[in-house]
Homo-oligomer: A and B are copies of this chain.
């Protein structure tokens, strides 16, 4: 049974209002302005819980700590190898790739996570 908590709501609201895929640390510092007493442990617990129940997404980019996305809907992410920023990306016509991947595979594919990488617009401009 999931009990209401102001802290968890604040975390969801915080994430819903940002599109830069903050880390747990960034969420912590942000929430702290409203709840000066919140602890990093609580932030981690709630981020973990929310991503487990599918209300947010956890992004393990392989560069630095995990990041979190307040948008639970399936979409894609772009990681800039130069500045490390993580951007949302909407790519149409990729729904079929689970089916494609299941060809010749004995298990059951439920979904996929894709990270595109390269150079973001800003880094492209300044190079």
Residues 56 to 115 of chain A near chain B (Cβ within 8 Å): 58-62, 66, 76, 78, 80-81, 87, 89-94, 97-98, 100-101, 103-115
CA distance A111 to B81 in the complex (A): 11
- Taking a contact as CB atoms under 8 Å apart, the answer to whether B121 and A106 are in contact is yes
| Interface size of A in residues (CB-CB distance below 8 Å) | 42
A8 contacts partner chain B, Cβ-Cβ < 8 Å: no
Per DSSP, are chain A's interface residues mostly helix, strand or loop, or mixed?
Answer: mixed
- Taking a contact as CB atoms under 8 Å apart, the answer to whether B109 and A117 are in contact is yes
- Taking a contact as CB atoms under 8 Å apart, the answer to whether A119 and B112 are in contact is no
- Taking a contact as CB atoms under 8 Å apart, the answer to whether A110 and B81 are in contact is yes
With a 10 A CB-CB cut-off, give which of A60, A98, A111, A118 has the most chain B CB atoms. A118
- Taking a contact as CB atoms under 8 Å apart, the answer to whether A117 and B110 are in contact is yes
The 7 closest A-B pairs by CB, nearest first: A60-B62, A106-B121, A110-B118, A107-B120, A114-B114, A109-B118, A112-B116
